[in-house]
Amino acid sequence: MVRPEVGASVQHRDLEGATALVTGATGGVGREVALALGRLGADVHVHGRNADRGERVASDLRGLGADASFFLAEYTDLDQVETLAERVRDRVDELDVLVNNAGAHFDEGRLTDLGVERTFHANHLAPFLLTNRLRDVLASGGRIVTVSSEVHRRASLDFEELTAVDAYEGLDAYARSKLANVLFARELARRTDDLTSVSCHPGFVPATGIWRNAPLPVRAVMLVLSAVPRSLTFGRVDTPSSAAVTPTFLAATDREDGENGAYFRDCAPVEPSPEASDDALAERLWEWSAQRVSL
């Protein structure tokens, strides 16, 4: 399926009266998703770490007529995720949409205070905890969109690797965390009957902060690619705004029967990797994560 341009597929949807939280919305894909949801009429609260950029996005959203606020939280610190959840719960009566978009890539392997590899902690454990802590403010019929990546296809999930960094490789760790995103969305859908939970690949976007910790040659390639107009790449290279289309579509439209828990690319469900379709693995990851965050 050819992905529609930003807003085109969802322009007619009315999110007036709906409330959304978009994590990692200080820049990149998340900022564009937040603004797109604001244009559709939703009140949109945003999260990130850079307060200046976050406040600017909230202010832009208010300029669109939305109620908006910015929440700061570092995802490698679960106490900050707990506080984020508390602050969101204090701020909103109900959440209709949660977009788990925040994500990071780290070139250097480290364990967090919890003893978990940092990428997995930030990209999987943090949204896992946030979503569960927000469970009772998520409106019946609410939509949870977890932003994964096609790179999940190169990953496998060895639980021993989640608490070790001896053989750390940044892209492998990132891919593993993105596999966990697909498994989490799938298992969440299985565990809830009043919510829709899906995951997606937004696109390949060289012009975002996700590459900031990548090795210099990778950063150089991304810099060059981000200067190439999308039309010259046959749509293979995205801008933050073209990459916002699929997450926005999922946040703003109802799913068909059988699509709950699915993985999407270009606004359509696609088969994820065999490992990402493994229900037993999804359940095991949920139990492992729940234990880690003392759910």
Would you tell me which residues interact with ligand NAP (CB under 6 A)? 24-30, 48-50, 53, 73-76, 101-104, 122, 147, 149, 201-202, 204-205, 208-210
Distance of CA 244 to the CA centre of its chain: 11
CA–CA dist 13, 252 (Å, integer): 7
Catalytic residue among 75, 168, 174, 263: 174
CB of 183 to ligand NAP, least distance (A): 15
Minimum CB distance to ligand NAP smaller for 38 or for 48: 48
Residue 111, beta-bridge partner list: 117
Minimum CB distance to ligand NAP smaller for 40 or for 210: 210
Tokens describing residue 224: 């060059």
CB of 36 to ligand NAP, least distance (A): 13
CB of 162 to ligand NAP, least distance (A): 17
Nearest position to ligand NAP, beta carbon? 28
CB of 261 to ligand NAP, least distance (A): 18
Minimum CB distance to ligand NAP smaller for 80 or for 139: 80
Which has the closest alpha carbon to 19: 36, 3, 41? 41
Distance of CA 183 to the CA centre of its chain: 13
Contact 206, 26 (CB under 8 A): no
**168 part of the active site:** no
Spatial strand order of the sheet with 138-147 comes to 70-72, 43-48, 19-22, 95-100, 138-147, 196-201, 263-265, 268-270
Minimum CB distance to ligand NAP smaller for 49 or for 154: 49
Cite the active site residues.
174
